[in-house]
Chain A
């Protein structure tokens, strides 16, 4: 257990110094790590290309994608798609060793690529893979990493990464002023999916992975895929109905599920409802749960704390039901009903049922 040699001497006080050290000045371009697993790209990677495009345009630099994985059609498709979603340049690290995600192979591969091509910004998805990789990479690179950002902007040439703070109501903006690359992770669905341009093409740069299987200490004995029944597809649902502590009891959650069923919606809840055991953890919505971007979000008995808000703000329409007219949720909901959710929800279920059956009959 030995500490690796540190990067060049750090400035004495990160916040005080404005001028970027000389050896970091040639760090250029915005990179997005494309998360490819078992031939599938996690859609958070495309969402990040959409966001990266804006940053690159502001900085007037290239947007680059990094695709790592085993050689094959899955990887080739990911490369083509990265161009369609806006990448100008795609770095490709193709090696059979990369078939399964392992910290060591991905960290070393990406670290070498970064030290060679020197990006100024790298964005990764805040998934289990992305958080594992970003955390290890930022340490080996000795640079700053901002977790779970909800907003990314360029401010005076630097990445301004905004994320919620502890305790309920505030956001903070974090910079990495004196180190490169500037790193940030963003959770799935926080950013909108960009448009796909069919036939758009970009530059491809292949890069070797100079690691042998024997060098990698951790071995994957087995991969057990989740059964479909465990999968909660909340993040991608078109309509979501959710309940909070205002429902008063686990039994009352049935009202949420009933409305969800009638609307073909998925259902979820605020964090305390998960902590109380009213609903399973996969159904938590918010900063430490799922981020959703449905066409319609119905929130019943949820106060609208910042950690909840950041998870639902991407919804096209938000309807809030809350007995307190001053509940913070009414500050970002589009429609509000002040009333008792345990009465309004069943009434909505019934009214929707009638309305929809009429529509079905009318064809």
Chain B
């Protein structure tokens, strides 16, 4: 079985700082990480491989430095890695991103038929959750989003049964391969790479594909040109007209502050007391 995992390199949000004066994001020097949601996809792919046999290929689209993320993935025991990098991809929205990734997956499929494509639920930067469904539709793969568990994969590689988080419950779905799975977070724990894998990660080949190498014929479907969405402005949110009314805390005990606060809330809303009484009635 051939399994492809899509991972995205993202800035580590915990390290992002905002410029105190201009209010803009200071990206310089911010370390990058594998999108945390993608680690659940990665681990699940490795588990499926370990249970049912086959190989796992990781794929990322990004700048040349995204190779770091692929090497990290190799360190967890992934079998092969492909970096899709080309200036033509710059400025891609989700439609253009899914086009590029789908084209590359199609090429991998021709080399060695692909049975399952894994993506994370969403990223921490773009945060749209649109790329997984995009790839599925482009490649006509069965689309299984928000998967919380894989129950079974038919050994002949023909069908799969999964649990999917739906509104108000869990769907148990059975479908045929090939399929695309977006993996829910918190569903597994990433393994530690073996020493062998960690060493291998440094030496392994990362295949680097340009748009042409990946098999892109129509370059206008890539990057900014292939993106129907246009970001027109970026701005700081309006502060509220008046700043918060401060409760004067200076030299007062917490009990005094609490009393004053309640007075103020009850003055602002004469309904609040009744609301609380109603809410606490049932208890």
Residues of A within 8 A of B (CB): 1-4, 6, 10, 12-15, 35, 37-38, 40, 42, 100-104, 107, 127-129, 131-132, 134-136, 138-140, 142-148, 160, 165-179, 217-226, 238-239, 261-265, 281, 287-288, 295-296, 306, 309, 316-320, 325, 329-339, 343-344, 346-348, 350-352, 355-356, 359-360
- Whether A174 touches B244, Cβ cut-off 8 Å, given contacts A14-B224, A138-B130, A222-B172, is no
Within 8 Å by CB of A100, from B165, B171, B254, B258, lies B171
Contact partners of B277 in chain A: CB under 8 A: 356, 359-360
Instruction: State the interface size on chain B (CB cutoff 8 A).
Output: 104
A246 to B107 alpha-carbon distance, docked (Å)? 50
A320 to B244 alpha-carbon distance, docked (Å)? 9
Contact partners of A343 in chain B: CB under 8 A: 254
Q: Does B120 contact A (CB under 8 A)?
A: no
Docked-complex contact B228 and A337, CB < 8 angstroms: no
Docked-complex contact B229 and A217, CB < 8 angstroms: no
A128 to B132 alpha-carbon distance, docked (Å)? 13
Q: Would you mind naming 15 contact pairs between A and B with Cβ atoms under 8 Å apart?
A: A1-B178, A6-B218, A12-B220, A103-B143, A135-B94, A135-B132, A135-B134, A165-B234, A169-B25, A174-B229, A219-B174, A220-B172, A264-B276, A264-B278, A334-B268
Contact partners of A169 in chain B: CB under 8 A: 18, 23, 25, 236-237
Contact partners of B127 in chain A: CB under 8 A: 147-148, 166, 287-288
A140, closest chain B residue (CB): B137
Docked-complex contact A170 and B221, CB < 8 angstroms: no
A217 to B172 alpha-carbon distance, docked (Å)? 14
A151, chain B: closest CB distance, angstroms: 10
Within 8 Å by CB of A2, from B129, B140, B236, lies B140
Contact partners of A178 in chain B: CB under 8 A: 228
Docked-complex contact A359 and B273, CB < 8 angstroms: yes
Docked-complex contact A333 and B244, CB < 8 angstroms: yes
- Whether A352 touches B262, Cβ cut-off 8 Å, given contacts A14-B225, A144-B229, A171-B237, is yes
Contact partners of B98 in chain A: CB under 8 A: 139
Which 6 pairs show the lowest CB-CB distances between chains A and B?
A: A264-B279, A135-B133, A144-B228, A347-B254, A336-B244, A147-B128
A223 to B163 alpha-carbon distance, docked (Å)? 9
Stretch at the interface among B42-50, B67-75, B245-253: B245-253
Contact partners of B271 in chain A: CB under 8 A: 295
A360 to B273 alpha-carbon distance, docked (Å)? 10
Docked-complex contact A347 and B109, CB < 8 angstroms: no
Within 8 Å by CB of B175, from A217, A329, A339, lies A217
Docked-complex contact B146 and A128, CB < 8 angstroms: yes
A331, chain B: closest CB distance, angstroms: 5
Docked-complex contact A264 and B262, CB < 8 angstroms: no
Docked-complex contact B229 and A239, CB < 8 angstroms: no
Docked-complex contact B130 and A175, CB < 8 angstroms: no
- Whether A335 touches B236, Cβ cut-off 8 Å, given contacts A140-B137, A225-B168, is no
A131 to B230 alpha-carbon distance, docked (Å)? 20
Chain B, residues 161-193, CB within 8 Å of chain A (1/0): the string is: 100011111111111101000000110000000
For B161, B170, B231, B237, the residue with the greatest tally of chain A CB atoms inside 10 Å of its CB is B237
Contact partners of B220 in chain A: CB under 8 A: 10, 12
Q: Does B202 contact A (CB under 8 A)?
A: no
- Whether A264 touches B283, Cβ cut-off 8 Å, given contacts A3-B106, A132-B146, A136-B133, is yes
Docked-complex contact A319 and B265, CB < 8 angstroms: yes
A285 to B155 alpha-carbon distance, docked (Å)? 42
- Whether A144 touches B93, Cβ cut-off 8 Å, given contacts A170-B234, A172-B233, A336-B247, is yes
